[in-house]
Structures are given as structure tokens and as C-alpha cells.
Amino acid sequence: MTQMSYMEAIRDGMRVEMKRDSGVYIAGEDVAQFGGCFGVTAGLYDEFGPDRVMNTPISEAVIVGHAVGAAALGLRPIAEIMFVDFMGCCMDELHNQAAKMKYMFGGKAKVPMVVRTPCGAGLGAAAQHSQCLESWFTHIAGVKTVMPGTAADAKGLMIAAIRDDNPVMYIEHKQLLGLTGDVPDGEYVVPLGKADIKREGSDVTIVAWSWMLQKSLAAAEKLAAEGINVEVLDPRTLVPLDKDAILKSVSKTGKLVIVHEEIKTSGFGGEISAIVAEEGFDYLDAPIKRVAAPDTPIPFSPILEQTFIPSEEKIIEAVKALF
């Protein structure tokens, strides 16, 4: 184990795979000498050179489009999009090309590419640079969606994403980049589609991912002081989703709160809620609660932005409402 930040863990995962497989490379805006907008690729250019860590034009369509072609021809590109908000500029390349090639070529084509992109509010970056949009990608058949909430998972899921033969959206939260934790050394792999119980509990299940995982864990500790024992489950990957783990937890606790930073309407929490309602209704002793952002663009004003972001207090309130 080594203590490292979430950002360093992502970098370490990429480094492990770049050393192991010469077909793995990184491409994106300012990812080379500059080290990327948030410094995640810092040092990799010096280590692997310009053929493995390369700057691209300021064009999301070019970044993702080139990755589709390179992956189809046998390489394993890691394409960085500077903010998830900009994915709208390259959705055709993702949802009409990368996601459908394997199906349309009868399984003969592989598209082993990773799109890395940061999400989330809290930095005062306003409406066009602060969104969580994971449900966009979970709605595309053929694309996998990964959202790590700890440093160890950031590394293990990165390695798994690079090794996968399908296009993977790897969404990292800006607020987590400095989060530190113990990270296994070497080739540490967290399988896609395997949830993790981050806190055992018996009274209520919270399902949360990315930054909201950390807020939910903090809320669970406060609730414990009041005699409410919360189980916190991190799906880690939204597609594939470990629904068996979610149903098993709900069958134990009888109550479910889903927490995410996306706006509530059509957020991925609605999908989890539907799965539990359809396949685990008899487990429930109370209605399912969702804690999510309001249906509004993200404000620039610090006070309004903090009101927009789901808080520990809102999570605690939702849990208490079930009793």
C-alpha cells in the first residue's frame, strides 16, 4: 500500500498500463508537458514521450473521434476531455460510432478506449464547467460508465477500464482529486460491475457514488451518534451496475436513500429506484428517497452553489424521514 491522492492514483493506474502495454497512450488538450488542466497527467510526458502522451487540437470531436479509429485498429487510447460539460461536442463519435461498432460488425470489432473527464460543482466554475452528467452515458447501450469515489478505486477502476474491450466513460470528480488514501501497489484491478460496501449497517441503505459517497459516509457517522446505523454502498460503476449487491443490502435494511449530484429529474438515481421497486419491492419498509441537485443550472455565486450541491444535512434529513 502507498498513500496517494485520488489524482495520483488515476495517474498510477495509467502508468501501470502504459508500461505493460505499448498500445496504451493518452491524448487530449494540454495533457503533455502541461500535465492536463487539473494536473492528472503530470510527469507522464517526460516518462513516455510525445508518441504516448500527445496534445490535440481544441476539438472534442477530434479527440474522441481519433480514439474511436485508433481503438478499432488495435490500440488502447485514453482520451481526455477537459470537462464533462464539453462531451456534448463529441456525442456522435461516442454514441453513434464507438458504442455501436461491436454490434454492427457482429462482434468482430473491438473498441477498447477510455474517455477520462472531470465532473462536478464546488469550485465556482459556474453553469458550463460544473455539471454531473453521468446519466447521459448510462443511456447509451455499448458504453460502460465508471465513477470512482476513493483513491484506491480510482486506480483499480482505471486499470480495469483500460483493459476492457469496450468504450468506457471514466468520470472523475474535481472535488476528489486531492482526496488521499491507501492505494495498492502494482497491477491492482477493481472489476467493472462490482459494488462495494464502504460502511456496514443495518437500519438503512445509502447508495452513493463519486463525491456523494464521501458526503454520505460523513452523514452516516453523524447518524450513528444518534443511533441510526447506516449501510453505505458504492456501486463504483453505473454500467455495468451491480444490482444484486443493491438488492441484497436493501433486503437487509428495508430502507433506501439514493444520493447523487446530478439534477434529480432523469438522474441515474431514478434507474436504481426503479430496479428496487420492480425487483425488491417486498424488501421495502418505507418509500425510496432520492437526494439530488435541483433542476437548475449550477450557479456561480458561492452561496447559491453550496445550496445547489447535495449536503450532509440533506442526506441526514432524508434518512430520518424514513423512520
Verify whether residue 129 is a known catalytic residue: yes
Within 8 A by CB and 6+ apart from 135, the residues are 262, 266, 267, 268, 271
Q: How many Cα atoms sit within 13 Å of 281 on the Cβ side?
A: 3
For 183, the enclosing helix (H) or strand (E) is strand 180-183
Inter-CA distances, 39 with 16, 121, 194, Å: 18, 18, 28
**232: nearest Cα among 269, 198, 190:** 198
The torsion angles phi and psi of 194, rounded to 5 degrees, stand at: -120, 110
State the pairing for strand pair 144-146/237-239. Answer: antiparallel
In the three-class reduction of DSSP (H, G, I as helix; E, B as strand; rest coil), residue 91 is classed as helix
Q: What is the C-alpha to C-alpha distance for residues 150 and 190, in angstroms, rounded to an integer?
A: 12
In the three-class reduction of DSSP (H, G, I as helix; E, B as strand; rest coil), residue 200 is classed as coil
> Which residue in the list 129, 139, 173, 260 is annotated as catalytic?
129
Residues in the chain: 323
Q: Nine-digit cell at 97?
A: 460510432
Angle at alpha carbon of residue 205, lines to 204 and 208, rounded to 5°: 140
Q: What is the C-alpha to C-alpha distance for residues 233 and 175, in angstroms, rounded to an integer?
A: 20
Q: How many Cα atoms sit within 13 Å of 239 on the Cβ side?
A: 21
Q: Which residues are catalytic?
A: 129
